[in-house]
Amino acid sequence: MAAGAPLGPRRRAGGRDPGVTAEALWPYALEVYGRPGVEPLLLALQDARGQCAPYLLWSLWMAASGRGADEAALRSGAALARAWEDAAIAPLRRLRRDLKSGPAPGPKPARERLRQGVGKLELDAERMLLQMLEEASPAPGAAVTPSLEALVSAARVWGGDAPASDLARLAELA
């Protein structure tokens, strides 16, 4: 997810944008992401370990809501998340981060306003990913899966290096 307060006080589950359909995953993601320690841990898993924070939040939600997170569902979700991350989220994140320190010709206050606007677009793209993942999720009906089991399975399917200690800590916090 985007660094800083994108999931903080400006965006709350009850404050839906007009025209947005009811969502269950978005409010869950907001609530979990807002818990002490979750944001820096997810960002470290994302930036240093190659994980996808929205995908990990989705796996936690699937487990907690009794949605079968089998290998096929996780692979399908990972493919969807990778495609959207490559097309929308990663380019916006790169631009937001690049604007933090440059380009030099732009006046700093204007550059910061632009960076904040790009950050909002990045958050909107992450929300869209969560909406797509929710829509692609199996219906509830399975037994609730332990958080750690869901995270380990999701991280394995996603690939990259996700230390077991980080996943265990995230499962504790979630």
| 34-54 pLDDT, tens digit each | 999 999 999 999 999 999 999
Helix axes 38-47, 53-64, angle to 10 degrees: 130
pLDDT at 1: 67
Cα–Cα distance measured from residue 44 to residue 46, given in angstroms and rounded to the nearest whole number: 5
Q: In this model, does residue 10 exceed pLDDT 60? A: no
Nearest to 154 by CA among 166, 142, 140, 143: 166
Do 96 and 115 meet the contact criterion of CB atoms below 8 Å apart?
yes
66: phi then psi, degrees, rounded to nearest 5? 70, 35
CB atoms < 10 A from the CB of 20, how many? 10
Task: Name the average pLDDT for the chain.
Answer: 87
How many CA within 13 A on the CB side of residue 9? 0
Give pTM, 2 decimals.
0.84
CA distance 91 to 117: 14
> For residues 101 and 38, which has the higher predicted lDDT (pLDDT)?
38
Count the residues in the chain: 174
Cβ-based neighbour number of residue 111 at 10 Å: 17
Residue 70 has pLDDT above 90, yes or no: no
